[in-house]
Each structure stands twice: as structure tokens, then as C-alpha cells.
Amino acid sequence: MTYKYNFNKLVNRLNSDSLKWNKYNNRNIIPLWVADSDFYSPECIRQELKKRINHGIFGYGIEPKNLSEIIVKRFLKFYNWKIDPSWIVYINGVVSGLNLSIRTFTKKNASVITYIPIYPPFIQSILLHHRIPKYIYLSHNKKKWILDPNILNSEMLGNEKLIMLCNPHNPTGSVFSYKELENILYFIKKHNLIICSDEIHCDLILQKKTKHIPFASIHPEAEQCSITFMSPSKTYNISGLNFAVAIIPNKKLRTKFILSKKKTLPNIDIFSFIAATTAWGNNQCNDWLTEQIKFLRKNRNILVNKINNISYLNILKPYATYLGWINCKNMKVTNPSLYFEKYGLKFSSGKDFGDSNFIRFNFACSRIILYKALERIEYAINKLFIS
């Protein structure tokens, strides 16, 4: 397969103040942990940022005039979700939005519901604000991780106000179906809950004939109880520019959220606004995204096929994201991530996501890196059981 853009290029990220790469700067370790890609951001985004740099003045910024219109058009085109511009609140990243939602809509010592395994800031945000986490465990069938509707009916304490969803799901890569989202809405209505939905990976759908469905889009009642977070950061590899949107149709919830934001978050900088406007509004970025999906789909298939042919490991095919959730339970080691580190590999530890039997593999990398990492995994497994 040929690609219009060179996603296979080895980009030297050492000494670039990269969180992902500089952690092991002086060691022969392949970093496959932090969820940013090793791909150049689209040329059109880089060019727009260069224009502003060449202008030479970097004072306080304001929202670009056409950004809200761009977002409204994009959400209708990509997700068949018609939103009103007044619903849009600009924030400094999805993690900021998660923390702000907990602070705004729950009280100290209240219970906050989330599914696990889950992206670690979900757990951290609950604990940092002295709330009590109530975990609902994902189950899986032979194909994917799923939201079991029977688990949704688990015993409630009565002090729950907020449920936190991640869809597409980090770390499993599941894309939840309309029926699964409908079951969540029923659960929310039954218990009078608010939902904040992290949908940052919504554009990174790898499975053909699969579409992302925003939770809020399934019904007017879903809109009225939801805060939806989206961002171009993962899609276009601009996570270092902290930008996201919170879509809040319910005016009462939106007013409270905006007030909390004013008390807590700084203004968004001009570079983040420029990058977001270009990412979501420039057709060249859509073209780049289409090619990236093809490349990531191939990487995913290579990863899944290889892992499922290595003894003691298995993985369900992620339908979205560039993250592989690998089951290492049969290795029978206390810390699989630490074990693989001895053989030159850094993965995210499953313990941080709620299950220490797993590792998370970031496959948004060149094929050279991918194949080298898979060789090291196989070697590490052979060394573990050779004696």
C-alpha cells in the first residue's frame, strides 16, 4: 500500500522535550507509552503556526471568528450531530474538562461512576477532588470490549451525581454501539445523573463500517444531561497545544461549567486556536487524516496478528485509537510493564488503568519501530519461559 504522506518516516524526538521520548533518553528503550503519535503534524497546521510566528507578537488571543461555524459544520458532517454554536465552551484540554466537571457537578465524598479499565486521569481526577470512585467493569465478547447492560444495574449508593464515559474507549479501543449508549441513557435517567463523555479519539476509527456516535446525539434527553469533550489533539498530533471543546446543550449545566471555568482555567493561547481552526477547517487536514487511518489500520493489524501468535499474550482488535490493550495475565509476572522494560520496551502499565494484568501499546509509530518492538516482545517472552 502506498501513502500520500510519509507516516513511516523516522522522526528524531530525542532532545525535543518530549515526555514520551526523553524519559529514556540515554537508554536503549523504545517508548510506546504516552498517547501521542510519532507522525509529523499536517503541513497545513505547521504553515499556519509559522505565519503567526513570523508575525512576531504573541499577546493574548481571542476566539477566531469562524471557529464555532467550523465546529458546527464538522460535527454535522462527521457525526450527524446538529449542535448550536452557543453550546460550545473552549477549554484547555480534555483532562481539564474532566476535573472541572467533577468540581462543578459533584460534592466532596460523593461517588463518581466510571468504567474501568480507563484512562488514568479519570481515576486521578476523582481521587484528587476527594470523591469516591464507583467502578463499573467492562466485559468483552470474542470480538471487542463491551458495556454490559446488566452491570449497569449494579447497586447504587444514592449519592452518585456524575458518570464518566470514554468513547472511543482508552485503553481498549472499543467504539460503543447505539444500543450500548442507549442503555447508558436509560441508566442515567433512572438515577438522575449527569454524564461527561471524553470523545477525544472520535476521528481515529480504524474498523471499516464502524462510526463514532456521540452520546449526546442519540436523543434530546441525552443532550440535556451531557457534557461532551472533543479535541483535534490526538487526531492531528497537536496534544502539546492544549485545546478542547466542551459541548453542553443544557443551559443550566453550561452556565455552571463556564462559571467554574472562569475561576479555574486560563485563557487559551493564540497558537492553540490557530492549530485547532486549521485542523478542523482545512480540507488538507481531512486528506491527511484519511491517509493516517489507513496507516494506523495496517499497524493495528500487524500488532494484533503478531501478539495473538506469541505465547502467553493476547489482544482484542481495537476498533479505534492507536492503542493496543494487551492481556499479559498468562505471563504470571507481577508487573508486565516493568518486565518488558528490561528488554528495551516502555509500555503504559495496566495498573494505572485499573488492571495490572495488561499493558497498553501505542502503535502510532513507524513500521521500523513497530517491527522492532514486536521482535523485542517475542524475545522477552521466550526468555521468561525458556528456563
Q: Is 288 exposed, middle or buried (0-12, 13-18, 19+ CB in 10 A)?
A: buried
Pairing of strands 132-137, 139-140: unpaired
CB-side neighbour CA atoms (13 Å) of 125: 24
Tens digits of per-residue pLDDT, 79-121? 999 999 999 999 999 999 999 999 999 999 999 999 999 999 9
For cell 477547517, the residue is 281
The pLDDT-based confidence of 387 (bands split at 50, 70, 90) is: low
User: Over pLDDT 90: what percentage of the chain?
Assistant: 89
Contact residues for 114 (Cβ-Cβ < 8 A; gap 6+): 122, 123, 126, 133, 134, 135, 136, 163, 164, 165
pLDDT of residue 123: 97
125 vs 149, residue with greater confidence: 125
- The model's pLDDT over 19-51, given as tens digits with 9 standing for 90+, comes to 999 988 888 999 999 999 999 999 999 999 999
> How far apart, in whole angstroms, are the C-alpha atoms of residue 37 and residue 366?
10
Question: For the chain, how big is the Rg over CA atoms in Å?
Answer: 21
For position 372, what pLDDT does the model report?
98
> How far apart are alpha carbons 149 and 183 in whole angstroms?
6
Side chain identity at residue 26, one-letter code: N
In the chain, pLDDT over 70 holds for what percent of residues?
98
Q: What gap in Å lies between CA 228 and CA 198, rounded to an integer?
A: 6
Query: How many helices (H) and strands (E) in the chain?
Result: 13, 15
Instruction: Give the predicted TM-score (pTM) of the model.
Output: 0.96
Note whether 49 and 274 are within 8 A (CB).
Answer: yes
Average pLDDT over residues 62-70: 95
**Which pLDDT tens digit goes with each residue over 279-291?**
999 999 999 999 9
Is residue 362 very low, low, confident or very high in pLDDT (cuts 50, 70, 90)? Answer: very high
Going from the C-alpha of 187 to that of each of 21, 122, 198, 200, the distances in angstroms are: 42, 20, 18, 23
**What is the Cα–Cα distance from 42 to 284, expressed in whole angstroms?**
8
